[in-house]
A and B are shown apart, each in its own frame.
Chain A
């Protein structure tokens, strides 16, 4: 048995987690949606058995974190602690809410968030040390999302305030979710369809490149709410004056200007990365392709494009993550999406409503980033070898 040595990061995690568990409150109880809440410690918020289990597991995980332990063990400890927290907060909600009371609200308090952060940090650190293969990362993501899904479906979180907000707007939630995803993905698809050919064109025609990239760069500096707003006028005009435009959903306000704005923002990363990717194709490869008599078109499809693909994918990843975030702003011009809940919540100072909009947005962006990073890594097989060397 080797001697136990202190892990610096682990010590910080331990301090955070212990503070979150023993000093900070675990949950907030409010008699109704609007009144100020009273905070409850772990011992008060959970039934006796549960608080013992939760504190026990937190202490064990903290012990694993604080000493130099194998990364796999740290990862397991982090996930077990996180899962316990997730279950625990649901139990607290049921425990604190008086039987049959539909007005009372229970939400996580600072201690919960601090522990979530601490163990999230532990998990991130363990994963960073383990450097799992891209496929494994996606599997971990799916497993975590699956666990959350089960918690949601099983109703163990139903007592939580955020889910009560959800329960009272089930229909709108899914409608806005659909709009959000459609906006983010649809504008991405459109930008990719237009941007990649534009990038190829820029690569071939140098004079075009500087001008076009300059314009796209300038578009990026226009604040999103302004761009959304500016587009209202021309689209409104089109809706009125172009026959059939209104019929396919083009309107001055709503989804159309948001879609066009996201599309415009998306063009720069796609075009720029296509240009960079194509410029990075080794001259030898191109010369060899010419040498064996490939036409320009064959060269583009057979040589340049596959070699530039990972870089183009990186552009697409930037766009997707950025669009998922920006789509929240569409709500300001009636374009819908999760932003609806965020801005409603801000307007009513209802934190739970804000969370109902913000949490899915963050989860979506996060999941998109993990999946696309994995795809990029699989598409460029030599990066991993280079890093390992």
Chain B
């Protein structure tokens, strides 16, 4: 049975690639969504290019967020940063109540229009799940394993690199996965501040009352999110299975 699920995913991925390369093949499917002679396929730019830009924005923001979040999590879980641990937990909780739109809108006056405020908002919003999961991963390591690592004569740096991070990796990856999924959706809102993302397609559809645009923009993002989600989850499971969890 898992084979079938994999096949479906591959088929969906191929369909997505085909749609991005040859959108007109799919015209008949979307035709019923539009009135008479309105355009069916997004015609104000290349869907492929927007998709790549969308992915680039998400990748940049999540990569930066992962680096910073991981560094911060490592910092507050060392003995010297332990004072900051409780506060950093509270800050994550507080941060998560900030709506992404608000973060995005507040970044505009500071960074201007375009990709920058979107990147900043995605970065800030992406920090939280990764930081939270990295904290969980680094603070719930089995004590006997940590004791053994110390007893074996590992320095604190060796313990971090060889034991703590590898053991926490599945949980950290889960945080990155969450962050990717949230960012993929949130990046569409970036188009309201003139960032080049798939949100442009959706907004164009909303403005010209063209449902086909809305659906194609939305579906591309949703499919990307589902595929990336599943791929990352598979990676986590493989890592975790190796450790017998």
Asked if A and B form a direct contact in the complex, defined as CB atoms under 8 angstroms apart, the reply is: yes
Q: Please report A residues at the B interface, Cβ cutoff 8 Å.
A: 7-9, 121, 124-125, 127-129, 218, 220-227, 229-230, 232-233, 321, 324-326, 328-329, 332-333, 339, 342-343, 345-346, 349, 351, 354-355, 357-358, 361-362, 365-366, 368-369
B126 interface residue (CB < 8 Å to A): no
Give the complex CA separation of A7 and B87 in angstroms: 13
Residues on B with C-beta less than 8 A from A9 are 83-84, 87
Q: Is B137 located at the chain interface by the 8 A CB criterion? A: no
What are 13 A-B pairs at a CB distance below 8 A? Answer: A124-B94, A221-B185, A222-B221, A223-B186, A223-B198, A223-B218, A225-B202, A225-B218, A326-B99, A332-B203, A339-B101, A346-B108, A365-B98
Stretch from B128-136, B145-153, B155-163, B222-230 that touches the partner? B222-230
With A221-B222, A369-B93 known as contacts, the answer to whether A332 contacts B192 (CB < 8 A) is yes
Q: Is the CB of A227 within 8 A of B218?
A: yes
Cβ–Cβ < 8 Å partners of A227 in chain B: 218
Contacting residues, chain A, for B98 (C-beta < 8 A): 325, 362, 365
**Bound CA span A9–B94, Å:** 18
Bound-state Cα–Cα, A343 to B90, Å: 30
Q: How far is the CA of A70 from the CA of B84 in the complex (A)?
A: 16
Query: Do the beta carbons of A221 and B225 come within 8 Å of each other?
Result: yes
Please classify how large the interface on chain B is, using the bins under 10, 10 to 19, 20 to 34, 35 or more. Answer: 35 or more
A sample of 20 more A-B contacts (CB under 8 A), given A221-B221, A225-B189, is: A121-B91, A124-B87, A218-B222, A221-B185, A224-B189, A225-B203, A225-B218, A226-B188, A226-B202, A229-B215, A230-B211, A232-B211, A233-B33, A342-B105, A354-B106, A354-B108, A355-B106, A358-B102, A365-B99, A366-B97
Which chain B residues lie closer than 8 Å to A369 at the CB level?
A: 93, 97
Q: Given that A124-B90, A325-B100 are known contacts, is A223 also in contact with B108, CB under 8 Å in the complex?
A: no
CB-nearest residue of chain B relative to A331? B101
Does any Cβ of A come within 8 Å of B214's Cβ?
yes
A222, A328, A362 pick with most chain B CB within 10 angstroms:
A222
Once the chains are docked, how many angstroms separate the CA of A339 from the CA of B102? 9
Q: Is A226 touching B189 in the complex (CB atoms < 8 A)?
A: no
B91 to chain A, nearest CB (A): 7
* Minimum distance in angstroms from A218 CB to a CB of chain B: 6
Known: A346-B192, A354-B105, A357-B105. A223 touches B99 (CB 8 A): no
Tell me if B89 is interfacial: C-beta within 8 Å of chain A. Answer: yes
CA distance A176 to B96 in the complex (A): 24
Q: For residue B143, which residues in chain A have a CB less than 8 angstroms away from its CB? A: none
In the complex, the answer to whether A128 meets B90 with C-beta atoms within 8 Å is yes
Contact B87 A226, beta carbon cutoff 8 Å: no
Contact A325 B101, beta carbon cutoff 8 Å: yes
> Among residues 51 to 108 in chain B, which have CB atoms less than 8 Å away from a CB atom of chain A?
83-84, 86-87, 89-91, 93-94, 96-102, 105-106, 108
Do A230 and B214 touch across chains, with their CB atoms under 8 A apart? Answer: yes
Find the A residue at minimum CB distance from B89. Answer: A128
B171 contacts partner chain A, Cβ-Cβ < 8 Å: no
* A233 to chain B: closest residue by CB: B211
For A221, give the chain B residue with the smallest CB separation.
B225
Determine if B109 is an interface residue (Cβ-Cβ < 8 Å). Answer: yes
Residues of B within 8 A of A233 (CB): 33, 211
User: In this complex, what residue of A is CB-closest to B100?
Assistant: A325
A128-B87, A358-B106 known; A223-B202 Cβ under 8 A: yes
Docked pose: A218 CA to B185 CA in angstroms: 12
The 9 closest A-B pairs by CB, nearest first: A226-B218, A325-B99, A229-B214, A221-B225, A351-B109, A223-B188, A358-B102, A223-B185, A328-B101
| B193: interface (CB < 8 Å) | yes
Partner of A343, one of B100, B192, B205, B226: B192
Q: Does B199 make an interface contact (CB < 8 A)?
A: yes
- Min CB–CB distance B181 → chain A (angstroms): 6
Residues in B neighbouring A332, C-beta threshold 8 A: 192, 203, 206
B217 at interface by CB-CB < 8 Å: yes
User: Would you call A342 and B222 a contact (CB within 8 A)?
Assistant: no
Q: How distant is the Cα of A35 from the Cα of B226 in the complex, in angstroms?
A: 46
A325 adjacent to B102 (CB under 8 Å): yes
Nearest-Cβ distance from residue B200 to partner chain A, whole angstroms: 11
* Chain A residues within 8 Å of B84, by CB: 8-9
Nearest A residue to B85, CB-CB: A128
Known A-B contacts A218-B226, A233-B33; the reply to A121 vs B87 at CB < 8 A is: yes
Partner among A129, A220, A225, A361 whose Cβ is within 8 Å of the Cβ of B99: A361
A9 to B96, CA, bound (A): 22
Q: Is the CB of A221 within 8 A of B106?
A: no
Give A24 Cβ to nearest chain B Cβ, in Å: 14
B243 CB to nearest chain A CB (Å): 24
Q: Are B221 and A226 closer than 8 Å at their CB atoms? A: yes
Chain B positions 187 through 198: 1 when the CB is less than 8 Å from some CB of chain A, otherwise 0: 011001100001
- Is B105's CB under 8 angstroms from A225's CB? no
Identify the closest chain A residue to B218 (Cβ).
A226
Closest to B207 in A: A332
Do residues B206 and A229 form an inter-chain contact, with CB atoms below 8 A? yes
CB distance from A169 to the nearest CB of B (A): 17
* Contact between B96 and A230, CB atoms less than 8 A apart: no
Residues of A within 8 A of B96 (CB): 321
With contact pairs A225-B206, A226-B221, A227-B218 given, residues A362 and B109 touching in the complex (Cβ less than 8 Å): no
